[in-house]
Structure 1
């Protein structure tokens, strides 16, 4: 099992790597980092992530194109109704990788829309507020909108759904509304 202490240590290592990455962004393994906060039915989530742009332009037309990026994340979930008991807490660590498609302007500023489906690994089985996920492996899909400012900040809002795709039951899923702040190196 992945403990909360290990999760804290992992986030510390991620922060150190991000600091080093900022110094070598031109040839590094990531071009941006994001901090996100999400809320769902009796559960909250905090997540840090790094992204690597694909630097492709598909369907380019009228100053816009379809591109994308890889998103590697580490999250902490805190449920407040463990095993459907109000006030009982469940703490989870979640790591994931997601390929994301983004439709944006060619200069990558202004409004965008995006969608992604990725793979996630949970530290234990989720069981909160009558929502149960019976496998530690979960798909995480999201749709979102956002705005990229000229100062390299990207502010976004997304809806995210976690499910194992009915690999095993029960599979009631977990949903989040997420606010994201991302900074490009």
Structure 2
């Protein structure tokens, strides 16, 4: 049976992915949707997200048809650990909701190659304890760096390195790392 914390995480994630998009699509706030798959030490991740580009006036370092700007990312994820409490084969299932502001350096026409990085806030449905990695708080910072390419038909394919940690607010705090492939469609 799910714990209260897990139920709250599932409810918030479902609310995020159903109620918010309906309003945001009508209001024109959502610019893209994404699907990510990641892998780490004895843990896998799948994540869906919705993105909203920053105001077009928020641009820096513009030159040669490139600039620095960004977007807001709201996501819901599922982690599956395969060595819960250090026991190989013992599974741990965690829901994660997150909000991340992301800086992106790319072309003015939003096509071709880009680099990006972001630091956001995440809430886990339960404490992570997998393969001798432990997180002692449900709140975690999630930071990533990545590269990607946006095609003419609006698909954005990227690779990211993602790190979750509570910045040593409470120990233990071994952190969790993922290598992620991302597919995003721009509306």
Q: TM-score, normalised by structure 2?
A: 0.90
State how far apart, in whole Å, the 1-side matches of 2:151 and 2:28 are: 22
Instruction: Choose which of 74, 77, 81 in structure 1 pairs with 2:76.
Output: 74
Offset at 1:29?
2.4
Instruction: Choose which of 79, 83, 99 in structure 1 pairs with 2:85.
Output: 83
Residues 134-180 of structure 1: CA deviation (Å, up to 9, x unaligned): 00000000000000011111000000000000001000000000010
Q: Rate the CA distance shift 1:141–1:5 in 2: closer, same or farther, 3 A.
A: closer
| Residue number in structure 1 paired with 2:45 | 45
Task: Work out whether residues 140 and 160 of structure 1, in 8 Å CA contact, stay in contact via their aligned partners in 2.
Answer: yes
State how far apart, in whole Å, the 2-side matches of 1:13 and 1:164 are: 23
Task: Work out whether residues 4 and 91 of structure 1, in 8 Å CA contact, stay in contact via their aligned partners in 2.
Answer: no
Q: TM-score, normalised by structure 1?
A: 0.91
State how far apart, in whole Å, the 2-side matches of 1:102 and 1:9 are: 28
SS of 1:162's equivalent? strand
Unaligned runs of 5+ in 1: none
Offset at 1:2?
3.9
Instruction: Choose which of 123, 145, 148 in structure 2 pairs with 1:146.
Output: 148
Residues 97-132 of structure 1: CA deviation (Å, up to 9, x unaligned): 000000000101000000000000001100000000
SS of 2:17's equivalent? helix
Q: Rate the CA distance shift 1:11–1:155 in 2: closer, same or farther, 3 A.
A: farther
Task: Work out whether residues 77 and 97 of structure 2, in 8 Å CA contact, stay in contact via their aligned partners in 1.
Answer: yes
State how far apart, in whole Å, the 2-side matches of 1:99 and 1:175 are: 19
| Residue number in structure 2 paired with 1:34 | 34
2:62 aligned with 1:60: yes
SS of 1:76's equivalent? strand
| Residue number in structure 2 paired with 1:7 | 10
Task: Work out whether residues 94 and 123 of structure 1, in 8 Å CA contact, stay in contact via their aligned partners in 2.
Answer: yes
Instruction: Choose which of 91, 94, 107 in structure 2 pairs with 1:92.
Output: 94
